[in-house]
Amino acid sequence: MASTNSDVRVGLDLGDEYLNTAVPDGLARVEARLREVLSSGETFLTDKISHLAVSGGKRFRPMFALLAAQYGQDEQGSGRAEVTDAAVVVELTHLATLYHDDVMDEAERRRGAPSANARWSNSVAILAGDYIFAVASGLMADLGTETVRHFADTFGELVTGQMRETIGPPDGDDDIEHYMQVIQEKTGVLIASAGYLGALHAGAPEEHRAALFRFGRHLGQVFQIVDDIIDIWSDPETSGKTPGTDLREGVFTLPVLYAMREETVGGARLRELLTGPVTDDALVDEALTLIRASDGRERALADIARYRGLGESELALLPAIPATGALRNLMEYSLERLG
């Protein structure tokens, strides 16, 4: 399938003229390669495994991989074919997890289109996700054993996070610490791996790869907590999202958990309401009102500030090149989504 520039939306000023051209060009190559590898195979497979890829997406992880490649010793940097394939591996893994997540959540829509499980069936969606993992594995094999080893650890952590979330915190464990661990494993590690692999295949030194990996973890925490806040406080007219989606799915995010801890009438009522998925619209509205009246947002924002500071500490270990400023812009972009 052909790729067009309209498929690639960087969405922010990277703060450097060269990067503002090089990164969109790199994303165009990623998009073309992504569609190429998803279009090979049996015809009854390709429409299903390409379903989410052609629906769009921010390509946030490939963007980070391309920026991380700027720390390489090779002057080609993010233009290397290996960097493109590394970015595609990360995006394929992300796409595959979305197929599986939609089955687990019984989601009906994804990226403005019917989810694969709604369009076909749960079995087809699961198999499509599995096949995408197979495609990613083929690319990894060509990238070498170091990439395979790294991604084996990444994938193990992703599955651990999903299992941790599914089972829930053991009796007596802190539910907020449990939640932070889950989003580290489910969100942070894949963003971190994008940075690590982009830098690795551009020839960056180990200390820079490690700093980019850690920065990616902190960026992932910020990104997810911002999403948590948006789910409660967003204006659907501007965000396009329906507030309380997580509540309807029985997922209690960071500001919700903070609100439920409050020793107030509102906190007590939330603990009564939020024992599982909330499907009644009136009860969702009541819960949203109580959460918005709590200090859940302020406490979640304090956690964001902490992770932002940790991310800055990692950037301080990197060279003072334009890509380092661009990574700061990437962190700011995550925060600007709060409006």
For residue range 148-206, what is the model confidence (pLDDT) as tens digits? Answer: 999 999 999 999 998 998 888 888 899 999 999 999 998 899 999 999 999 999 999 99
Look at residue 43 in the predicted model and tell me its pLDDT.
Answer: 79
Q: Domains in the chain, ordered, with CATH?
A: 1-204 (1.10.600.10), 206-339 (1.10.600.10)
Query: For the whole prediction, is pTM greater than 0.85?
Result: yes
Structure tokens at 66: 């391309």
Residues 272, 245: Cα–Cα separation, whole Å: 19
Q: Is the pLDDT of residue 326 over 70?
A: yes
Question: Looking at residue 9, what is its pLDDT?
Answer: 46
- Enumerate residues 6+ apart whose C-beta is below 8 A from 27: 8, 10, 59, 62, 63, 66
> What are the C-alpha distances in Å from 131 to residues 40, 44, 88, 124, 198?
11, 12, 15, 10, 23
How high does pLDDT run on average in the chain? Answer: 85
Instruction: Tell which wins on pLDDT, 240 or 188.
Output: 188
Beta carbons of 279 and 248 less than 8 angstroms apart = yes
Q: In the structure, what pLDDT confidence band is assigned to residue 77 with cuts at 50, 70 and 90?
A: low
Residue 2, pLDDT score: 29
- Cα(113)–Cα(58) distance, integer angstroms: 15
1-14 average pLDDT score: 47
Instruction: State residue 251's pLDDT score.
Output: 87
Tens digit of each residue's pLDDT (9 = 90 or more) over 248-281: 888 899 999 999 999 999 999 999 999 989 989 9
CA–CA distance, 268 with 139 (Å, rounded to integer): 51
Contacts of 11 (CB under 8 A, 6+ apart): 58, 333
Mean pLDDT computed over 213-234: 93
Residue 1, pLDDT above cutoff 50: no
State the average pLDDT over residues 17-30.
91
Burial class of residue 26, CB neighbours in 10 A (0-12, 13-18, 19+) = buried
Are 188 and 56 within 8 A, CB to CB?
Answer: no
Q: Say what percent of the chain tops pLDDT 70.
A: 83
pLDDT of residue 296: 96
Mean pLDDT across 311-335: 93
Nearest alpha carbon to residue 327 among 81, 82, 12: 12
User: Is pLDDT at 10 greater than 60 in this prediction?
Assistant: no
Q: Is the pLDDT of residue 101 over 70?
A: no
**Cα–Cα distance measured from residue 221 to residue 283, given in angstroms and rounded to the nearest whole number:** 29
- Of the pLDDT bands very low, low, confident and very high (cuts 50, 70, 90), residue 116 is low
CA distance 305 to 311: 10
DSSP string for residues in 132-147: HHHHHHHHHHHH-HHH
Matching residue, tokens 């619209």: 281
